[in-house]
Amino acid sequence: MTRPKPIEARVSLIINATPEEVFSAFIEPKQLVRFWLAATSGKLSIGKTVLWEFKVPGATVETTATKLRLGRAIAWKWSDGTAVNIELEYLDKGTAITVINSGFQGSPTQKIESALNATQGFSYVLADLKTLLESGKSSHIVKDKARLIELRN
């Protein structure tokens, strides 16, 4: 009998920027707040826990980097028990980025719901990052989604 595959969120996109530029955008606080976060207590570094404040009011998480390979890979654990792995690959004069969010807790239905929400969220994050790195300006997709969540709650 085969075991069921763990439920995970997986999002991929090509961004017309170098792998080092994409890597930097997820590590550097000044970049993170341009497309994804409202605030961060510091730069990601292995074993150091930083507090990330998302654009949705009240949404925060402690983030601890577990892998930082310049231009290749980034991984971290969140205080909710989930893990995020980002793979970067130079491809066709750009960067193929894949984000995998795993470790969802709860019943099978809750895990599926969490994975669907994470897939949607990381799709917005990557779209906003793509716009920022390719045009120099955020499209505010993440900010607008956060506003919608706030207005509906």
Q: What is the rounded average pLDDT of the residues 18-30? A: 97
User: 104-134 pLDDT, tens per residue?
Assistant: 999 999 999 999 999 999 999 999 999 999 9
CATH number at residue 17: 3.30.530.20
The whole-angstrom separation of Cα 2 and Cα 5 is 9
Q: How many structural domains does the chain have?
A: 1
The whole-angstrom separation of Cα 56 and Cα 36 is 10
| Residue 2 pLDDT | 78
Query: Does 122 fall in a domain?
Result: yes
The whole-angstrom separation of Cα 72 and Cα 90 is 9
Has residue 60 got a pLDDT over 80?
Answer: yes
Q: State the residue range of the domain holding 124.
A: 9-148
The whole-angstrom separation of Cα 128 and Cα 33 is 11
Query: Does 4 fall in a domain?
Result: no
User: 29-40 pLDDT, tens per residue?
Assistant: 999 999 999 999
Q: What is the pTM of this model?
A: 0.94
By percentage, how much of the chain surpasses pLDDT 90? 95
User: 75-90 pLDDT, tens per residue?
Assistant: 999 999 999 999 999 9
| Residue 5 pLDDT | 85
Q: Provide the CA 147 distance to its chain's centre, in angstroms.
A: 18
Q: What is the rounded average pLDDT of the residues 24-52? A: 97
Has residue 1 got a pLDDT over 70?
Answer: no
DSSP for 29-40, written as a single string = HHHHHHHTEEEE
Query: Does 57 fall in a domain?
Result: yes
Query: Does 153 fall in a domain?
Result: no
Query: Does 2 fall in a domain?
Result: no
